[in-house]
Amino acid sequence: MNHLNSIILSFLNIKGYSHKFLFRYEKELLEAVNETTSVFEGITYVLEKTNRILKVTSDEINSAIEKAKAIEKKCTDYNIHILNFLDEDFPASVKNNHNLWSVLFTVGNYKLLNEYTVGIIGTTKPDAHGQIVSQRIGTYCTEEEITLVLNQQRGVTVEVLKEFDGTFIGVASAGLDTKYEPLDDIHHQQNRCVISPFVPGITYDEYRYIEGSKLVGCLSNRVILVQDAPSDDTRFVLSYFCRLNRTLGVILPVQSAQKSPINQGNMLVIDKGEEGLITYCKAKDLNSKTLECEIKLLKTKNDFPQFFKEEDIPF
């Protein structure tokens, strides 16, 4: 398995070959690793087995291999661990949703990626009530040892972390070398992992934020919507998560603030249920047939125990 990462990264740098292709030909990839001794041989083995050998030139293969080498070197330099979809530590929740990512990049304790988790999402500009609720969630999840999944953004995430001292997975919407240095504490922390679907060198933009949001939804057994207008801060996570057979918790705003603009996302889902969630997400292909998640209302912190501890079937 020594050159499997190299084969996968090389394929992703050949025009016309995607994560979907790699998932489809998992058997051939494993055979290539066992039957060959070099990356070039491994790639040509898969191409021959899939009747594509005449569609890719040797120059294209060699160019892709060099790009893969550069990625792997950067990962080594920055203590970034590469997880491919055939690795036993690759998150099952991602592998089970084929065609997303065949390779992920991590710093910290990647063993956390297959734990039961709850994702926390919300606005980047919470009001006083949103801040209080976020901090209560942080306190509760610390006491009950709940592993969280958090976007690396301002607002609700920051407020949760003010009172949270437990295990969590952070999702980065950029290459991890743009976030961490080789000697940062994250590399030695057992209660924290940061994961990215992007190779080193990739910087943040809106597209990458959308991909990162998908990963938040994919990694989370359950998600809590703390507070939002709605906005892009949360709808990208929800538009992916609500297609899965999982549970969405929605915080009920205090009565005096239920008509406040910052709470209109929560109220839309609370008042109109699935129809409201579909409207919230604004995704063209999301409808009553493609929406799968269950919605649960969280009125007070007394609802936390049942929601957080009522574990779903593992991925």
What is the 3-state secondary structure of 70-135?
HHHHHHHHCCCEEEECCCCCCCHHHHCCCCCCCEEEEEECHHHHHCCEEEEECCCCCCHHHHHHHH
3-class secondary structure, 296 = strand
115-167, pLDDT tens digit by residue?
999 999 999 999 999 999 999 999 999 999 999 999 988 899 999 999 999 99
Tokens read off for 130 = 């949103």
226: CB partners within 8 A, 6+ apart = 120, 121, 122, 123, 126, 130, 133, 134, 137, 156, 251
CB-CB contact of 227 with 249 (8 Å): no
Is it true that domain 110-309 has CATH number 3.50.50.60? no
**Domain spans of the chain, in order of start:** 4-77, 110-309
Q: How much is the pLDDT for 315?
A: 43
What single letter denotes the amino acid at residue 250?
Answer: V
CA–CA separation, 242 vs 126, rounded Å? 23
211-263, pLDDT tens digit by residue?
999 999 999 999 999 999 999 999 999 999 999 999 999 999 999 999 999 99
- CA-based Rg of the chain, rounded to a whole angstrom? 21
Model confidence at 310: pLDDT above 70: no
CA–CA separation, 41 vs 102, rounded Å? 20
